[in-house]
Amino acid sequence: MYFARTNGTENQEGPTTPEEGLNFFIEYWNDIDWESVFSSIILFFMQLILTLIIFFILKKIGNYAIELVFKRYMKEKQTVPNRLNTLYKLSKNSFHAIIYFFLVYAILELMGVPVGTLVASAGVVGLALSLGAQGFVSDIVNGFMFLLEKQLDVGDVVELSGILGTVEDVNLKTTKVRDFDGTTHFIPNRSITVISNRSRADMRVMLHVRLFPETDLNKVRSVLEQVNREWIPRCEEITIEPTEIAFVPIGAGQIAAQVIMYTKSGTEFAMRNLFYEKYVDALREAGIELPKVNLDIQTP
């Protein structure tokens, strides 16, 4: 609305009365190309519907492919459910995040929103956040590699960052290990550099039964071999039987009867204690005097 001052009065160049304002609105309304507007709206909704159809088709195919791959992997590799579930959820979440991102991107493009500018701005914010979340990202990457490469499973006896215990949980952020004294340790995955897994092979049990130098070694060998013949067939945990009874020097003028056997992972302590007890009882019953005894367990 424009005004011109002439002789102390104001003359309006635009509509000043209600009737003139109404006529102006009617003229503006009639000037709109409604055919073009309706065509644009119809085209937008058709493109939106087509985009949604493509989105749901891709989502369905992607979910089916992920489930098919993991079911086949589970059947062929007989992997641990904990690892499978973690990788399965991670794959699905990543797929959904990507496909929903492209859906939002396509809808904004249809609406004429400058997505490129928004993405550039988000990139700057994302860079700032990534600098402050490097540790978190490192945990995620390391945890994913632990699960993907099967470096450890729930129930494995492992040594992580100087902590020896049983794995109770493995996820993308932390690894939960219970020490043998009952302490539960939550270890960030980024701090794990070396994984010593004691559950991937048979464990070696080395027993040293100390003897006095004047002990009858042939009698000791006979007693220990008799114990082995009696008890090894009863123990399914033993994978490799002792091949011989050896006598080795251990210093301080003493010798020891050395017995080596291999057991299933996780049963080495039980087998060590069992045969320690049987060896000592049998030697004492045979009248053989014993000094202090010492046992060692070592991995192959």
pLDDT number for residue 103:
86
Q: What is the pLDDT of residue 57?
A: 92
Lowest mean pLDDT among 122-126, 250-254, 277-281: 122-126
pLDDT digits (tens, 9 = 90+) for 163-193: 888 888 877 788 889 888 888 999 888 888 8
Q: Where does residue 62 rank: exposed (0-12), middle (13-18), buried (19+ CB within 10 A)?
A: middle
DSSP letter at 189?
A: G
- CB of 163 closer than 8 Å to CB of 179: yes
The 10s digit of each residue's pLDDT in 33-83 is 667 777 878 888 888 889 889 989 998 998 888 888 877 766 655 555 556
Predicted confidence at residue 85, as pLDDT, reads: 67
DSSP state string for 22-86: HHHHHHHHHHS-HHHHHHHHHHHHHHHHHHHHHHHHHHHHHHHHHHHHHHHHHHHH---HHHHHH
Residue 2 has pLDDT above 60, yes or no: no
Fold of 34-113: Helix Hairpins (1.10.287)
In this structure, CATH architecture of domain 203-286: 2-Layer Sandwich (3.30)
- pLDDT tens digit string along 201-252? 778 888 888 888 888 889 999 999 999 989 988 888 888 888 888 888 887 7
7-34 burial, b at 16+ Cβ within 10 Å, e below that, comes to eeeeeeeeeeeeeeeeeeeeeeeeeeee
Report pLDDT for 180: 80
- The ranges assigned to domains in the chain are 34-113, 149-197, 203-286
Burial class (CB in 10 A: 0-12, 13-18, 19+), 183: exposed
Alpha carbons 59 and 181: distance in angstroms, whole number: 48
DSSP code at position 198: S
Regarding pTM above 0.85, the answer is: no
Which class does domain 149-197 fall in? Answer: mainly beta
User: Does 149-197 match 203-286 in CATH topology?
Assistant: no
